[in-house]
Amino acid sequence: MEEYIGLDVSLKETAISIRRGGKRIWRGKCKSNPDSIITLLNKHAPDARRVVFETGPLSIWFYHALTDAGVPAICIDARHAKAALDMAANKTDANDADGLAHLAEVGFYREVRVKGYDSMLARTLVAARTRLVTICTELSNQIRGFMKTFGLVIPSGKGATFANNVRMLLDGHQSLSRIILPLLKAWYGTREQAAELSRQLIAIARASQSCRLLMSVPGVGVVTATSFVTAIEDPENFKKSRSVGAWLGLTTRRYQSGEVDYDGHISRRGDAHLRGLLFEAATVILTRSSADSSLRSWGVKLRERLGFKRAAVAVARRLSVIMHAMLKTGQLFDRAIGMDPAKG
């Protein structure tokens, strides 16, 4: 008979539950390492049908390592599993593993598409660069704040101009210089490393036909294009282009019960970073883009009727639909004609 396995994964240990024929036949714990789990499954569940675990920080590593070893691993949505696991009287790792094994046996789960290593490397590069840029901004603001306390107001300027202004104002303030200059040195180093990651990101975008395609859209740059391509991976993952907007949390939530039926704010599900990038691109289209397009004209009309924020969210949603359609068809963005998301 076939076995159904539930894995409750944590950083140090993984609780395992094995079911066969509607009954639990074994449960225990091992180190949170795919090799240890594979050895244990070969011993206690040689005919494993499904091995289920929830989304988490180790899920990508576990999924690829287990599937490469021939284990039928399935990563499921943690939010979906929570409703079933909360029915247990006591919340323990062992009980969670039992619940996951039961879900695997009855087939009551929502499988999550696990990204490939190449996509995760690109996403990690984007996240690392974003973090370094944020640190640079925080350091420069901190330097401005410290110096302002002593009446030294740094003129507006970025990069080398900012550093030169700081050094010029610190001339004759030796005590303050001993505090500010280490911060300025840290700002220099972080800025150089951020520039290095930016060069790597640009090289990846130039080598990717999909990224170059998406960058034909006004307001979409290297970071947004790379983030979108790595999030979507294969355009065929979505049957309809309009599904991408809902997947990114850019569609309104609906509540309906009896006579009550209303739409609320956007759901904000999915990739928050990519959603923010699309909102920024929509803002550029509405405020700074000089190239006219049907998308911009539509957004400007919405802004006059609904206000800027709602219009920007709507443009971001339609932009996600258009970008997916472009990946699917291989067509460049047509500013004059535009693309109708309803056809996607």
Is the domain of 124 the same as that of 23?
no
Residue 229's CB: how many other CB atoms inside 10 A? 22
Is the domain of 146 the same as that of 238?
no
- What per-residue confidence (pLDDT) applies to 133? 96
Is the domain of 91 the same as that of 139?
no
Contacts of 51 (CB under 8 A, 6+ apart): 5, 7, 41, 66, 71, 72, 73, 74, 104
Residue 75 structural domain: 3-106
Is the domain of 216 the same as that of 336?
yes
Contacts of 204 (CB under 8 A, 6+ apart): 122, 125, 211, 226
Q: What is the pTM of this model?
A: 0.84
* Residue 291 C-beta-side C-alpha neighbours within 13 Å: 15
- What per-residue confidence (pLDDT) applies to 341? 44
Q: Is residue 83, in this structure, part of any structural domain at all?
A: yes
Is the domain of 95 the same as that of 153?
no
How buried is residue 51: exposed, middle or buried, by Cβ count under 10 Å (0-12/13-18/19+)? buried
The number of distinct structural domains making up the chain is: 3
- What per-residue confidence (pLDDT) applies to 336? 63
Is the domain of 154 the same as that of 201?
yes
Domain boundary at 106, 136, 151, which?
A: 106
Domain boundary at 164, 188, 207, which?
A: 207
| pLDDT > 70: percent of the chain | 97
- What per-residue confidence (pLDDT) applies to 257? 79
Per the model's pLDDT, the better-predicted residue between 251 and 83 turns out to be 251
- Span 161-209, pLDDT tens digits: 999 999 999 998 999 999 999 999 999 999 999 999 999 999 999 999 9
Is the domain of 39 the same as that of 158?
no
Q: Is residue 133, in this structure, part of any structural domain at all?
A: yes
Q: Is residue 273, in this structure, part of any structural domain at all?
A: yes
- What per-residue confidence (pLDDT) applies to 183? 97
Is residue 151 helix, strand or coil? Answer: coil
- What per-residue confidence (pLDDT) applies to 342? 43
Domain boundary at 106, 131, 159, which?
A: 106
Q: Is residue 112, in this structure, part of any structural domain at all?
A: no
